[in-house]
Amino acid sequence: MLVVFIVVVVIVGSTVPVPSVDEVRATAGSAGLVGMIGFGLGYGLLTLAPVPKSVISIAAGVIWGFGTGVVLVYLGALLGATLAFTIGRFLGREAVERFTGARVARVDELLQRRGLAAVISVRLMPVLPFTAINYAAGLTAVRRRDYALGTILGILPGTLAYVAVGAYSLEPGWQLWIALAALGGLTLLGFIFGNRARRQTRARSATEDGRPADTSAASEDERDV
């Protein structure tokens, strides 16, 4: 999906006159608070569709800078996560899997602890699609409180990193390198945690079935979410 989005942007950028960054910033500045609220609401609605939110987060950093960009993206993401969670419970498993391409069973397995720590860990993994997790979580047994608090805490590091990439990419400095390192670190920690959680799950399943556990299996299923 991200590759398709980038290709479309390149094609549009090469065929349609695109305003400069300064012009976009000036337009956003003239829109004032109304423009900020509109962006936040638009971001929340876009999270209901399987589009690359990371690109939009980076754009927010380019347009509004780090501080304001973080607030807008963070609030918009929380709005979208809440809406998708609620909609997921109404749509049902089959509709969610068809729309997002995610396997609800995989998400349920990742959130099997039904606790705050599980939700936070899933949110910290940039490799897992935000939209699919939102919808699918509404069909799992995770509690609303754990989902809400886990989302509030879990999406913050990634939000800070993506917006920082946009805010400091035009004038690269130590802030940009820290943001890129943070994204790389979150991805690595996500894979490590995913592998560990998957092995523990298989070990418990093997114990319940009375057969040896396979402790060498990699966590390929998280990538299929």
- pLDDT per position as a tens digit, 22-33: 888 888 888 889
By the 8 A CB rule, do 114 and 146 touch? yes
How confident is residue 216, by pLDDT bands cut at 50, 70 and 90? very low
How confident is residue 181, by pLDDT bands cut at 50, 70 and 90? confident
Distance CA 61, CA 46 (A): 17
Q: Averaged over 117-128, what is the pLDDT?
A: 77
Give yes or no for residue 191 having a pLDDT over 90.
Answer: no
Distance CA 187, CA 189 (A): 6
pLDDT of residue 190: 66
Q: Averaged over 95-121, what is the pLDDT?
A: 68
Higher pLDDT, 54 or 111: 54
Give yes or no for residue 192 having a pLDDT over 70.
Answer: yes
Cβ partners under 8 Å of residue 110, min gap 6: 118, 122, 194, 197, 222, 225
Give yes or no for residue 211 having a pLDDT over 70.
Answer: no
Q: Averaged over 88-101, what is the pLDDT?
A: 71
Domain ranges of the chain: 50-224
How confident is residue 224, by pLDDT bands cut at 50, 70 and 90? very low
Distance CA 76, CA 67 (A): 14
pLDDT of residue 218: 42
